[in-house]
Amino acid sequence: MATTASSLHADGTLGTSHKRVIFASSLGTVFEWYDFYLYGSLAAIIGKQFFTGLNETSQFIFALLAFAAGFFVRPFGAIVFGRVGDLIGRKYTFLITIVIMGTSTFLVGVLPGYSTIGVAAPVLLIVLRLLQGLALGGEYGGAATYVAEHAPMGKRGLYTSFIQITATFGLFLSLLVILGTRMGMGNETFESWGWRIPFLISSVLVGISVYIRLQLQESPVFRQMKAEGKHSKAPLTEAFGRWSNLKLVILALFGATAGQAVIWYTGQFYALYFLTQSLKIEGTTANLLIAAALLIGTPFFVFFGWLSDKIGRKTVVLTGCLLAALTLFPIFKGLTHFGNPAVEAAAASAPVVVTADPNACTFQFDPVGKKTFTSSCDVAKSVLAKKGIPYTNAAAPAGTLATVKIGDEVIESFEGGQLDKATFAARNKEFTAKVGSQVKAAGYPEKADPAQTNYPMLIVLLSILVLYVTIVYGPIAAWLVEMFPTRIRYTSMSLPYHIGNGWFGGFVPTIGFMLVAWKGDIYYGLWYPVIVSMMTFLVGLFFVRETKDVPLEH
């Protein structure tokens, strides 16, 4: 698979060896994304296995935070491996990253749960998630840079779009393996121990990828630069210590990758969690719906990569940001209408309102499971959150006992601060039963009724979300590669990409559901991706340049 610039055909198309470069880089990245997204797809089950010491609401949110931990360290992986990639080369760097990723994923599959080793279980799980994040932080920039430096002028958007497909293929592959395993052994067995099998399979995928990547040679642009002695001796200093380049890094983050990232994770992960947690659609069904949307939308990564070669990266990506910012709310309301219309009908005919002293309402998140939320407001909101009931808030005078109004019925909460544990539990059980009986009478369903679910329309709406993902994600690799000089390209492009996708994007599910739990409005979490998308549109429009015709050598 030795590859040189001479492999380009006279008409500018890729020769056989360049196609192998794209295939090898993309396949390895698919496997890395597969490893990374297994956790996201199984967050609810993993929460039960590793965070059983927490209450139900904190358990799920903390499972999402452990998922987000991998995203948090991605920028640090970008710095570490980006520097290595600019010093010694692209090929060997992303060879190292896939070994780290595969080993960490395999170890998640054999890690004992909370019931076996106690608090050490979630601690070790988070450590492995951090290692996964570091590896992924070094992988993407290497693969994107490697392919772009092989691609002909005028076709970098098209060829790097195959790298963009890998994230969706990795998610798609993880969903297929999960569904196949679940259906093969049944839900009960799968949730008990079968969830580990997809993690163990990663060792086989990593072996295949390492073998393929060992056959590759370094990119011709990097080899030529190194032969001429022009490669950077201090890529971190050049990338972030000089304002001329640091300014580009900042603009790439706020004017390109932040908006792209929140759209990506809203359209795939947040949508999946919304279906299962807010609309109470059965997990296997929700995964199949997302998989169908991904299958429909995936070819558009290549289309929009190709289109960016014609009309520009900036035009395509910012159009996607604007569309998402304007339509996320109606699309998610459509998911409710077609996915669980009983929730929509009940909310219209018997709206739930929590009336309480705002000062008595706290943000109910306890990462260590030690706090108790005993004010009358907290008690009321906790019960509604556990049942997944949407509600609105109304302010009451200071010292007023919180009430829950369901349609025309009003249920009074209670103050638990002065009660002993047994009495509090008994009062809470009584209050929960009253609320449960009333919301059931008002038509709020415990689970989505398959007979009322419009599956074709759900697939249409989810496919639109995936289409937005392809618009913003298809051209982003080419755009970032072209922003920075070859000598510090790996380092420079990796950091804004992974801050955008690791921090802005990776925290979408966590922030979204924390906002929903806080406000009670099942759509409130969408404000986060909407605001970030609009920020990227405005910053990118006024401050970020078009790059599609920039020679990489410059």
Task: For residue 394, give Cα distances in angstroms to 404, 420, 520, 540.
Answer: 10, 29, 12, 39
- In a domain, residue 29? The reply is yes
pLDDT in tens, 339-384: 999 999 999 999 999 999 998 888 765 544 456 678 999 899 888 8
307 and 430 part of one domain: no
Residue 129, pLDDT above cutoff 50:
yes
List Cβ neighbours of 23 (8 Å cut-off, separation of 6 or more): none
Domain residues for 405? 345-441
Q: Which of 289, 16, 14 is nearest to 148 (CA)?
A: 14
Q: Which DSSP helix (H) or strand (E) runs through 412?
A: strand 409-412
CATH of the domain at 371: 3.40.30
Report how far residue 276's alpha carbon sits from residue 74's, in angstroms, rounded to the nearest whole number.
27
pLDDT in tens, 98-125: 788 888 888 988 999 888 888 788 888 8
256 and 152 part of one domain: yes
Q: What is the mean pLDDT of the chain?
A: 83
Structure tokens at 419: 């009660």
- In a domain, residue 219? The reply is yes
DSSP 353: E
* Degrees, nearest 5: CA angle 200-202-206: 140
* DSSP, residue by residue, 267-308: IIIIHHHIIIIIS---HHHHHHHHHHHHHHHTHHHHHHHHHH
Residue 319, pLDDT above cutoff 60:
yes
pLDDT in tens, 8-56: 444 445 555 556 667 766 776 677 677 667 776 787 788 778 877 666 6
Other CB atoms within a 10 A radius of the CB of residue 393 amount to: 17
- In a domain, residue 550? The reply is no
- In a domain, residue 553? The reply is no
Task: Provide the percentage of residues in the chain whose pLDDT is more than 90.
Answer: 34
- State the pLDDT at residue 176: 85
- Rg for the chain, CA atoms, rounded: 25
Report how far residue 155's alpha carbon sits from residue 324's, in angstroms, rounded to the nearest whole number.
27
362 and 427 part of one domain: yes
85 and 204 part of one domain: yes
Residue 214, pLDDT above cutoff 90:
no
pLDDT in tens, 191-211: 888 989 998 988 887 788 788
Q: Which of 3, 64, 471 is nearest to 219 (CA)?
A: 3
147 and 168 part of one domain: yes
Structure tokens at 226: 């190194």
Question: Which of 362-371, 426-435, 513-522 comes out lowest in average pLDDT?
Answer: 362-371
336 and 415 part of one domain: no
Task: For residue 479, give Cα distances in angstroms to 253, 255, 284, 306, 512.
Answer: 12, 11, 37, 12, 28
From 441, 470, 493, the end of a domain falls on 441
CATH of the domain at 82: 1.20.1250.20
- In a domain, residue 59? The reply is yes
pTM surpassing 0.95? no
395 and 422 part of one domain: yes
pLDDT in tens, 90-100: 667 777 887 88
Higher pLDDT, 243 or 464: 464
96 and 131 part of one domain: yes
Residues in the chain: 554
Q: Is the Cα dihedral 507, 105, 144, 159 positive or negative?
A: negative
465 and 378 part of one domain: no
7-35 burial: b if 16+ Cβ within 10 Å, else e: bbeeeeebeebbbbbbebbbbbbbbbbbb
- State the pLDDT at residue 1: 34
What is the arithmetic mean of pLDDT over 461-466? 97
What's the order of all strands across the beta sheet hosting 403-406?
A: 392-395, 352-356, 403-406, 409-412
146 and 37 part of one domain: yes
The number of distinct structural domains making up the chain is: 2
The answer to whether residues 105 and 38 touch, using CB atoms and an 8 Å cutoff, is yes
Q: What region, left, alpha or beta, does residue 403 occupy, with left being phi > 0 and alpha being psi -120 to 50 degrees?
A: beta
Q: Which DSSP helix (H) or strand (E) runs through 354?
A: strand 352-356
- In a domain, residue 248? The reply is yes
Higher pLDDT, 304 or 168: 304
The answer to whether residues 63 and 508 touch, using CB atoms and an 8 Å cutoff, is no
pLDDT in tens, 265-301: 899 889 988 998 889 998 889 988 988 998 899 899 9
Residue 519, pLDDT above cutoff 90:
no
- State the pLDDT at residue 520: 86
User: What's the one-letter identity of residue 236?
Assistant: L
- In a domain, residue 548? The reply is no
pLDDT in tens, 56-85: 666 666 776 777 777 788 888 888 887 777
* DSSP, residue by residue, 355-409: EE-GGG------TTS-----SHHHHHHHHHHHHT---EEEE--TTPPPEEEETTE
From 406, 441, 476, the end of a domain falls on 441
- In a domain, residue 410? The reply is yes
From 407, 441, 475, the end of a domain falls on 441
Task: Identify the band that residue 517 occupies on the pLDDT scale cut at 50, 70 and 90.
Answer: confident
Task: Provide the percentage of residues in the chain whose pLDDT is more than 70.
Answer: 86
What is the arithmetic mean of pLDDT over 523-544? 96
Structure tokens at 553: 């050598």
- State the pLDDT at residue 489: 79
460 and 529 part of one domain: yes
Question: Which of 142-146, 354-358, 399-403 comes out lowest in average pLDDT?
Answer: 142-146
Task: Identify the band that residue 6 occupies on the pLDDT scale cut at 50, 70 and 90.
Answer: very low
334 and 423 part of one domain: no
